[in-house]
Amino acid sequence: MPASALDIYQEYLDLTGEALLARDADTFLARIFLPHLLITETQTFHMEDDETIRHHFFGFANALASQDVDAYVRIGREAQFDDATHLHGTHDSFLTSRGKLVVPRFSNETALERRGGIWGSTKTRHFTAYVSWPDILPRGDVS
């Protein structure tokens, strides 16, 4: 039986989340397809080349490390196929350090495309008000 859209989406979330915390750029970037669109509440980034996407990867990985993030849990809420090689979904992100939230839970949308048998992201939307990317400290109370 073929995998559901949500199963594929969650596998992508788990794999890339683990790679980010491990600072494994090669694994992470193999699942980010160019051109890639990254949208936050304050900025939109059009990433057209490997150097730019690698810069954003390490910017975010460094931001996580600076806050001692030891768990980056993303839970898929829903996903659906657009066609045989495209799907989109929504998920919630939880960033914790020693079991405590570093920032409030925030929602996201991601579009995935299948290329060469691999599912990767072409567009990501983070619903949180960043001070500036890749700063992960949204304006808000974590209590």
- On whether residue 136 sits in a domain, the answer given is no
Residue 134 forms part of a structural domain: no
Checking DSSP bridges between strand 44-47 and strand 100-101, what pairing results, if any?
unpaired
- What are the tens digits of pLDDT across the range 54-94? 998 998 898 889 889 999 999 999 999 999 999 999 999 99
Encode 37-66 in three state secondary structure. Answer: EEECCCCEEEECCHHHHHHHHHHHHHHHHH
Q: Is residue 141 part of a domain?
A: no
Domain CATH code at residue 69: 3.10.450.50
With 80 as the cut, is the pLDDT of residue 1 above it? no
SS3 101: strand
135 within domain boundaries: no
- The answer to whether residues 124 and 90 touch, using CB atoms and an 8 Å cutoff, is no
pTM here is 0.88
Condensed to tens digits (0 to 9), the pLDDT of residues 99-113 reads 999 888 999 999 999
What is the average per-residue pLDDT within 129-134? 55
Query: How many structural domains comprise the chain?
Result: 1
Where b means 16+ CB within 10 Å and e means fewer, 63-82 reads bbeebebeebebebeebeee
Range of the domain at 54: 5-127
Q: How many residues does the chain have?
A: 143
pLDDT at residue 24, rounded to an integer: 97
CB within 8 Å of 55: residues ≥ 6 apart:
none
pLDDT higher than threshold 90 for residue 11 = yes
Range among 5-19, 29-43, 52-66 with highest mean pLDDT value: 5-19
